[in-house]
């Protein structure tokens, strides 16, 4: 089986070119979108853009620079091919995909480098500093905030994308201490496969899991689907190793320390601006014996939110807990793939009708996923207690079928975005976090702001939200919004929505990002959230480790 | 009742001048120490040093500087009295207390300032920068690493100790989100008393709890006795507010974020070198309904360590879990206060003898404390499961009496140190942390090194250790060592032991401190652990926020 990074990837959209979202098998979705957004979907699939038609700036590197790079990493590991440069030119934000479809790949790296060892990374940064080349670290390239785009910044002779995929080993597993030493370039599926050989696993599964890797997760301070129990990536780090232009920093493999400001937490979230993370020791868990994912339907979103808060504050930490609001719940029902067994499907539909008469509806209620993993007994005990709390807050259990349906399709949504582009429908996501007392006010404010911003461009809209990644003191809120693309003003429209939503989040007590990161798309709000003194601090750190400023310029710091 | 910071405090030792360790009521302790350390304890109590006999450098501040300070904080809140200057001249490390007893208060601040608001702190730092005054933030003053000593550093016209005790309010409790906004100058007892009015509590109770406060806990990245479930102080922080010489930084009250390097974690552990923490929002818990503390006696320390690892890795997080090795267990028995009921005491002694014949002995085994707090049902369930794991690993339950005895005397030990000074006995502590696979090797290495270092000064020794503050991936190890003070070479002797132990910890994979902090006593090892690039990073941060270097100079950074 090929590795996950050996697939042929879509250069203008998500994932594997041979995979897609089977929208044809979901008959209620297209009419739903047409009605809600006032669009006409003429062709369910539009032809893919052609890479050979792209106008691409030539590599600015002279042959002596290429030779010097090859001397460090070997002949085969310096690439200036069109495909490699395009694949490393953008991440996978709405803006990225929009520009790619419009043929505007503005910042292809001048070369893509594939180092095979940390020593090579050290040499690469020396060379880059000597020759004024900007360096953007690259792991899976799935950033949705512009984190991997090698921006053209004045003063640099060229840009390098340093792709870590060759540094992809699990170096050591310490089963007794439940830690694993892992190279940063390994992607999700191979990472868990390797760990599984030792009967342990990491449990970090963001939506990008199939096409992203350890270094990127750490650099962008991400969160996986099971973060409610396993924590965000920063909580999984035992120690880290990073190559900076001033040398290597390695923290100690210790469970906790009081030695000054926590270096692990400084590099986590540094987004390649201080150096290239090459290895980390991560906390791992025993491979779960049991998985239990179940659907629940709350009468109201508020009821679901209340249930999640109670579950967390009772000290129950489900691996996954996710409550969709009414708009997301109704969309989930419309995008559903009906059962291939018509009798079964009919039974389900009439059950839903019955439920609806009793007050539980996907149109007005909140569909929830509750997921537990681990030892059988523990999973059973937690699930029972959580279901009781859900019931108390107005939930109707929908059983394991609904849970597994979600589980099995949990990495598919980004493919749907690509299809909807062809329909003239914009889909983007944004996320924040706040304390419990502020969840509902922030929720309403953000939804309203996005709706208004899309209306400004004469678009009807769907703005859905779910609560996920929850904590004792608060939770993340995740928004997905759909609108009609404003032809000829595509970027302007997106910028308007993004700006409106970002301003609303900050004005209403949220953080500009709970797990997507900053990159350059969130940089303006990051600066406001961090504050002028925070930015000074960041500049001070950068000056200390990267005085020439070669590391991922234009990210985090404007 | 007076506040905890309104007591008359010992200037040369621990705590309240009206409290002491009732060594007279513990008849087996003095003979034990005499035998083990080859000392003769002639007088159980030696007279207290007299503050008026201290030779104290005069304040170097001119009257115009004093006037300017008074203009900011008010007439009554600038002190140059002997008592205030002495009380703010040192922390409470062995070295501090030794020098105080020897009459060597080397670095009294030139003035002690008691600001009443953040605005005053801002003004103070401006004035300090203008007049080249070094500023050392002060909360409880219980640092055991030299963190609060206002060192004389070249280039400064004088030193200020900024005592935050007037900024001691709980500003807001959000019961729904389980957070509380608290001013940094509040001390442990008042903090918990205030929170208790809202039926919540913080649960951070270091040994210094009675004489330390929030700002110090955060600045030094400490851990409390119940950190195994509630976490170290850094894990309790929701947001923080800090006054730096370049202005105020406030982080957002959000449960998690991906906005760059985590500022909360940068200020936690900054030890006053970047600014003065003025407020923080802390995670709080419901006031426990039930407390269950129990003693256990393991046949071996290894068995106890194994039990703790299993307990944690089974996902059970007792608030307190603490396993003493054989030397500490036997000392615990000798320092015990016998029951006032002779029949009861006799019964206990013969029970112990019986246990000893069966292989459970305080001389060779490991005394453990297991403590759970919370809801009654939850406490009962956890305790039952933990006891089963202990039993499997060779433990004999000693019941609640032994647990409560430990609980009730848990803040008393520092008083005993002061008494033993008078006996010519040095007592100091040090602590580290490592992963489970390295716990026993590190344990043996450190014990051996301290024993050897004390032998170098012709001293017999007791080197005790307990495992506490445990994690899924590892644990802290806490060492207490006793030796005969080398008269005339007191400091040299201590430095030798400290150096030997510190070198051993770093050479054997530990961290130089798990919760005491760095100050200047750990600075040499901190520098090695952080590495040259880490130190550059720290200098870069300091330069950004404190370009004149007025904030606690000589701490963290040499």
Q: For chain B, which ranges sit under pLDDT 50?
A: none
Rg, C-alpha atoms of chain B? 23
Distance CA A271, CA B310 (A): 36
Does residue A88 contact residue A78 with C-beta atoms inside 8 Å? no
Distance CA A429, CA A410 (A): 15
At A117-140, the pLDDT tens digits run 999 999 999 999 999 999 999 999
How confident is the model at residue B484, as a pLDDT?
A: 97
Contact across the interface for B255 and A475, Cβ inside 8 Å: yes
Mutate to test the interface with B, among A254, A313, A317 (most CBs of B within 10 A): A254
The closest CB to that of A258, out of B220, B313, B544, belongs to B220
Mean pLDDT of A373-400: 96
Strand-pair partners of B282? B180, B237
Contact across the interface for A510 and B254, Cβ inside 8 Å: yes
Closest chain B residue to the Cα of A540, Cα to Cα: B540
Task: Provide the CATH topology of domain B170-286.
Answer: 3.30.465
The full set of domain ranges for chain A reads 170-286, 290-408, 416-516
Could you tell me how many residues make up chain B? Answer: 558
Active site residue ranges of B: 478
Q: Which strands form B133-138's sheet, in the order they lie side by side?
A: B78-79, B111-113, B158-163, B133-138
The closest CB to that of B222, out of A258, A476, A537, belongs to A258
| Number of CB atoms found within 10 A of residue A326's CB | 19
Q: Which residues contact A143 (CB under 8 A, 6 or more apart)?
A: A91, A92, A93, A149, A216, A220, A517, A519
Enter the tokens of residue A141: 């390239």
At B380-412, the pLDDT tens digits run 999 999 999 999 999 999 999 999 989 998 999
Distance CA B274, CA B542 (A): 6
Mutate to test the interface with A, among B178, B240, B254, B440 (most CBs of A within 10 A): B254
Torsions phi, psi for B16 (to 5 deg): -80, 130
Strand-pair partners of B297? B367, B396
Give, for B479, the enclosing helix (H) or strand (E): strand B474-484
Q: Does domain B290-408 have CATH number 3.90.79.10?
A: no
Contact across the interface for B436 and A176, Cβ inside 8 Å: yes
CA distance B348 to chain A (A): 38
Enter the tokens of residue A363: 């149109």
How confident is the model at residue B43, as a pLDDT?
A: 82
Torsions phi, psi for A70 (to 5 deg): -65, -35
Does residue A147 contact residue A517 with C-beta atoms inside 8 Å? yes
Q: Which residue has the higher pLDDT, A405 or B507?
A: B507
Q: Which residues contact B214 (CB under 8 A, 6 or more apart)?
A: B139, B182, B183, B184, B185, B186, B191, B280, B282
Mutate to test the interface with B, among A255, A276, A475 (most CBs of B within 10 A): A255
Distance CA A161, CA A61 (A): 13
Residues of B in contact with A523 (CB under 8 A): none
Half-sphere exposure of B181 (CA within 13 A, CB side): 10
Contact across the interface for A232 and B544, Cβ inside 8 Å: no
Distance CA B392, CA A29 (A): 57
Strand-pair partners of B444? none
Distance CA A166, CA A143 (A): 20
Contact across the interface for B540 and A536, Cβ inside 8 Å: no
Distance CA B105, CA A53 (A): 78
Distance CA B546, CA B245 (A): 5
pLDDT over threshold 90, residue A68: yes
- C-alpha distances (whole Å) from B508 to each of A31, A254, B145 are 66, 12, 21
Q: Which residues contact A64 (CB under 8 A, 6 or more apart)?
A: none
Establish whether this prediction's ipTM goes over 0.95: yes
Among the listed residues A295, A353, A357, A358, the one whose alpha carbon sits nearest the alpha carbon of residue A329: A295
Residues of B in contact with A238 (CB under 8 A): 435, 473
Active site residue ranges of A: 478
Contact across the interface for A530 and B223, Cβ inside 8 Å: no
User: With bands split at pLDDT 50, 70 and 90, how would you rate the model's confidence at A46?
Assistant: confident
CA distance B13 to chain A (A): 24
Q: What is chain A's mean pLDDT, rounded?
A: 96
Contact across the interface for B265 and A267, Cβ inside 8 Å: no
Decide: helix, strand or coil at residue A542: helix
Q: Detail the DSSP E strand segments found in B175-271.
A: 179-183, 200-201, 237-244, 247-250
Does residue A112 contact residue A61 with C-beta atoms inside 8 Å? no
Decide: helix, strand or coil at residue B469: strand
Enter the tokens of residue B239: 């947001």
How confident is the model at residue A2, as a pLDDT?
A: 79
Could you tell me how many residues make up chain A? Answer: 558
Contact across the interface for A223 and B256, Cβ inside 8 Å: yes
Among the listed residues A13, A80, A75, the one whose alpha carbon sits nearest the alpha carbon of residue A48: A13
How far the first Cα of chain A sits from its last, in Å, is 42
Give, for B191, the enclosing helix (H) or strand (E): helix B188-196
Distance CA B159, CA B110 (A): 5
User: With bands split at pLDDT 50, 70 and 90, how would you rate the model's confidence at A18?
Assistant: very high
Distance CA B478, CA B494 (A): 18
Strand-pair partners of A298? A366, A395
The closest CB to that of B433, out of A221, A255, A514, belongs to A255
Distance CA B454, CA B443 (A): 17
The closest CB to that of B249, out of A437, A474, A534, belongs to A534
Helical residues (DSSP H) of B74-184, grouped into ranges: 82-87, 94-101, 118-130
Contact across the interface for A473 and B238, Cβ inside 8 Å: yes
- Interface size, chain A vs chain B, as Cβ–Cβ contacts under 8 Å: 277
Residues of A in contact with B222 (CB under 8 A): 258
Closest chain B residue to the Cα of A286, Cα to Cα: B313
Enter the tokens of residue A400: 């394991």
At A195-227, the pLDDT tens digits run 999 999 999 999 999 999 999 999 999 999 999
- C-alpha distances (whole Å) from A79 to each of A73, A75, A108, B518 are 11, 9, 12, 47
Contact across the interface for A283 and B222, Cβ inside 8 Å: no
Q: Residue A398 class from Cβ within 10 Å (0-12 exposed, 13-18 middle, 19+ buried)?
A: buried
Decide: helix, strand or coil at residue A79: strand
How confident is the model at residue B527, as a pLDDT?
A: 98
Residues of B in contact with A176 (CB under 8 A): 309, 436-437
Distance CA B335, CA B354 (A): 21
Distance CA A524, CA A518 (A): 9
Largest CA distance in chain B: 74
Looking at the structure, give the CATH architecture of the domain made up of residues A416-516.
2-Layer Sandwich (3.30)
Mean pLDDT of A474-482: 98
Contact across the interface for A256 and B223, Cβ inside 8 Å: yes
pLDDT over threshold 80, residue A324: yes
At A249-295, the pLDDT tens digits run 999 999 999 999 999 999 999 999 999 999 999 999 999 999 999 99
**DSSP β-ladder status, B320-324 and B461-470:** antiparallel
Does residue A200 contact residue A180 with C-beta atoms inside 8 Å? yes
CA distance A58 to chain B (A): 33
pLDDT over threshold 80, residue A1: no
Contact across the interface for A260 and B526, Cβ inside 8 Å: yes
CA distance A99 to chain B (A): 25
The closest CB to that of A177, out of B435, B530, B532, belongs to B435
- For B1-48+411-516, CATH gives 3.30.300.330
The closest CB to that of B232, out of A256, A270, A516, belongs to A256
Among the listed residues B533, B512, B74, B175, the one whose alpha carbon sits nearest the alpha carbon of residue A245: B533
CA distance A282 to chain B (A): 10
How far the first Cα of chain B sits from its last, in Å, is 42
CA distance A54 to chain B (A): 34
At B462-489, the pLDDT tens digits run 999 999 999 999 999 999 999 999 999 9
pLDDT over threshold 80, residue A516: yes
Distance CA A274, CA A282 (A): 20
Torsions phi, psi for A306 (to 5 deg): -60, -40
3-state secondary structure A260-289: CCCHHHHHCCCCCCCCEEEEEEEECEECCC
Contact across the interface for A513 and B257, Cβ inside 8 Å: yes
Residues of B in contact with A283 (CB under 8 A): 472-473
Distance CA B30, CA B337 (A): 12
The closest CB to that of A556, out of B260, B374, B526, belongs to B260
The closest CB to that of A258, out of B250, B263, B513, belongs to B513
Q: Which residues contact B277 (CB under 8 A, 6 or more apart)?
A: B137, B184, B215, B218, B219, B240, B241, B242, B267
Percentage of chain A exceeding pLDDT 70? 100
Contact across the interface for A269 and B261, Cβ inside 8 Å: yes
Closest chain A residue to the Cα of B223, Cα to Cα: A258
């Amino acid at each position: 089986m090929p590795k996950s990074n050996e697939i042929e990837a879509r250069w203008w959209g998500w994932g594997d070119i041979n995979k897609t979202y089977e929208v044809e098998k979901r008959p209620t979705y297209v009419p739903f979108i047409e009605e809600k957004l006032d669009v006409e979907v003429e062709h369910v699939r539009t032809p893919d853009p052609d890479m050979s038609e792209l106008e691409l700036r030539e590599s600015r590197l002279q042959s002596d620079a290429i030779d010097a790079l090859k001397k460090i990493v070997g002949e085969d590991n310096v690439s200036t091919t069109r495909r490699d440069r395009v694949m490393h030119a953008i991440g996978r934000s709405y803006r990225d995909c929009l520009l790619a479809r419009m043929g505007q790949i503005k910042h292809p790296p001048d070369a893509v480098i594939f180092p095979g060892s940390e020593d090579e990374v050290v040499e690469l940064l020396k060379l880059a500093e000597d020759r004024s080349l900007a360096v953007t670290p690259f792991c899976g390239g799935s950033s949705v905030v512009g984190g991997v785009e090698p921006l053209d910044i004045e003063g640099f002779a060229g840009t390098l994308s340093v792709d870590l995929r060759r540094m992809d080993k699990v170096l050591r597993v310490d089963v007794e201490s439940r830690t694993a030493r892992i190279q940063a370039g390994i992607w999700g599926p191979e990472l868990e496969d390797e760990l599984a050989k030792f009967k342990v696993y990491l449990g970090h599964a963001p939506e990008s899991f199939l096409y992203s890797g350890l270094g990127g997760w750490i650099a962008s301070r991400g969160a996986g689907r099971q973060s409610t129990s396993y924590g965000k990536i920063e909580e999984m780090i035992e120690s880290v190793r990073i190559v900076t232009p001033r040398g290597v920093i390695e923290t100690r493999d210790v469970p906790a320390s009081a030695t000054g400001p926590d270096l692990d937490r400084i590099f986590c979230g540094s987004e390649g601006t201080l150096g290239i993370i090459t290895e980390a020791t991560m906390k791992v868990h025993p491979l779960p014996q049991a998985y239990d994912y179940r659907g629940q339907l709350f009468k109201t979103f508020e009821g679901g939110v209340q249930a999640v808060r109670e579950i967390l504050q009772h000290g129950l930490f489900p691996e996954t807990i996710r409550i969709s609001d009414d708009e997301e719940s109704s969309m989930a029902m419309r995008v559903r793939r009906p059962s291939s067994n018509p009798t079964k499907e009919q039974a389900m539909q009439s059950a839903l009708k019955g439920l609806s008469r009793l007050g539980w509806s996907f149109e007005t209620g909140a569909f929830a996923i509750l997921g537990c993993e681990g030892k059988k007994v523990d999973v059973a005990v937690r699930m029972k207690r959580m279901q009781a709390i859900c019931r108390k807050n107005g939930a109707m259990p929908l059983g394991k079928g609904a849970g597994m349906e979600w589980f099995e399709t949990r990495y598919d949504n980004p493919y749907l975005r690509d299809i909807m582009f062809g329909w003239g429908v914009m889909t983007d996501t944004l996320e924040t976090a706040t304390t419990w007392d502020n969840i509902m006010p922030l929720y309403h404010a953000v939804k309203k702001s996005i709706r208004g911003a899309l209306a400004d461009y004469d678009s009807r809209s769907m703005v859905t939200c779910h609560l996920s990644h929850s904590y004792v003191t608060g939770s993340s809120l995740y928004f997905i919004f759909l609108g009609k693309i404003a032809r000829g003003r595509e970027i302007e429209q997106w910028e308007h929505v993004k700006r409106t939503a970002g301003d609303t989040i900050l004005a209403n007590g949220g953080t500009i990002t709970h797990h997507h990161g900053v990159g350059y798309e969130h940089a303006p709000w990051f600066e406001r959230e961090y504050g002028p003194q925070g930015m000074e601090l960041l500049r001070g750190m950068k000056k200390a480790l990267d005085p020439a400023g070669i590391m991922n310029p234009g990210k985090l710091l404007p």
